[in-house]
Amino acid sequence: MESESSRSLTTADGRPIEPLDPAIRTIQPGGGTCMRIELAWGFIRRAYLKLFRRGYLRRMEACRQGDTNPCPHDCLDPRDVKFYRNQGGYHWDLSDDPFTWRDRIPFARVGFAEMIIFSLLFVGAAIGLWFVHPLLSIVPALLELEIIWFFRDPKRVTPSEPGLVVSPADGKIDVIEYLDHDDVIGGPAVKIAIFLSVFNVHINRFPVDAQVFKISHRKGKFKSATSPECALINEQLELFLESTDDARRVMRLRQITGAIARRIVCWVAPGDSLKRGQQLGMIKLGSRTELVIPQEQGLEILVELGDKVQAGETLFARYA
C-alpha cells in the first residue's frame, strides 16, 4: 500500500482522487461494542506505558513517521493507529513495528478483540453449564468454534496472468447482472455479487492491481444478506478503483452488511494502490460483496450462478 506522502491528486488516467468521505472516521465506520471495549483497553494500556515503559515510548517516538496524529487519543505505538490507519498521519515502517508478528497468526488481526471477548463469554458459559449438565455446554462450545472458524485468515495464492479479475470475497455467486450503463464506469457493465455465510472467510481482497480514487459510506438497515435486495437498503461501503495496467479500467467494489454482520472494516484510503489479491478489509459475521466491472469486447465471465468462490484465488473474469 502506498504511503500518504506518495499519493497524488489524480490517478494515472487523470481521475481526481477524492478526499476520504467525512463520515468515515475509522476503519470500522459502524463502530460497535467490541470496538469500544478495545478502545477503552487502549486507554489503560497507554497509561501503563507512560508510567512504566518510558524508554520504549522514546524509541517508538524516534522512529514514528508522519506529521499529524490521526487518533482522538495519544499515539504512542503502532497499536494506537489500528482503527485510524485510513486517516493518514502517524505511522511506523514494518521494520520498526514490534507487533508485526501478529500478522503471522492465521486469524484476521482486526478480529482479535472479538475473538478474545466472545471466547471469554462462550468458554466461560461452557464451563459453567458443564457443572449444571454436560450436554448444556455443547451450544456455547459450538459457538466458540464458529467464532474461531469465522476469523480465520488462510493463505491464498493469487494468479499473476495479465487481464484476470479474481474474486474479492469468499462465498457463493448469487447475482450475475449485465447492466446497459453504469454511471461510474461510463458504459455497459457486469455486476457479480457474492453471498458470504457465517461459515465463509470474511476477508475482502482486491480483484485487480488498482488504485483507489474514491471511497463512500452509506448508513442503512441490517436486513438478511441472503437476499440481493439488501444491497439497496443495508449499510455499505463502496470503493471506486482504477486498474493500474494499461487499460485503466474503472471498477466498483461494495461491502454490504447483513442481519448478523453489522461491522464493515476497510483500512485503505483514497490514493492507495494495492496488488491483485491484497487484503483491503473484512465484514464481520455474514454479509455480501459486489463487484461491478466494465463490459467490453473480449470480456469472458468465468463464474456461474451458484459457484463457490475464494477471495484472491477464484477467477471471476478475463479481459482479452
In sequence order, the 6+-apart residues with CB closer than 8 A to the CB of 132 are none
Catalytic residue (choose from 137, 167, 273, 287): 287
What is the DSSP code (8-state) at residue 73? Answer: S
Residue-level length of the chain: 320
Told to judge if 287 belongs to the known catalytic residues of this protein, a careful annotator would answer: yes
Do the beta carbons of residue 230 and residue 261 sit within 8 Å? no
Alpha carbon of 157 to those of 49, 109, 205, 220, 312: distances in Å? 39, 20, 12, 35, 7
Query: Cell numbers of 152, please?
Result: 480465520
- Element of type H or E holding 294: strand 287-294
Q: Which residues of 247-286 are buried (b: 16+ CB within 10 A; e: fewer)?
A: eebbbbbbbbbbbebbbbbbbbbbbbbbebbbbbbbbbbb
Q: What is the CA radius of gyration of the chain?
A: 21
Q: Is 130 helix (H, G, I), strand (E, B) or coil?
A: helix
Catalytic residue set: 287
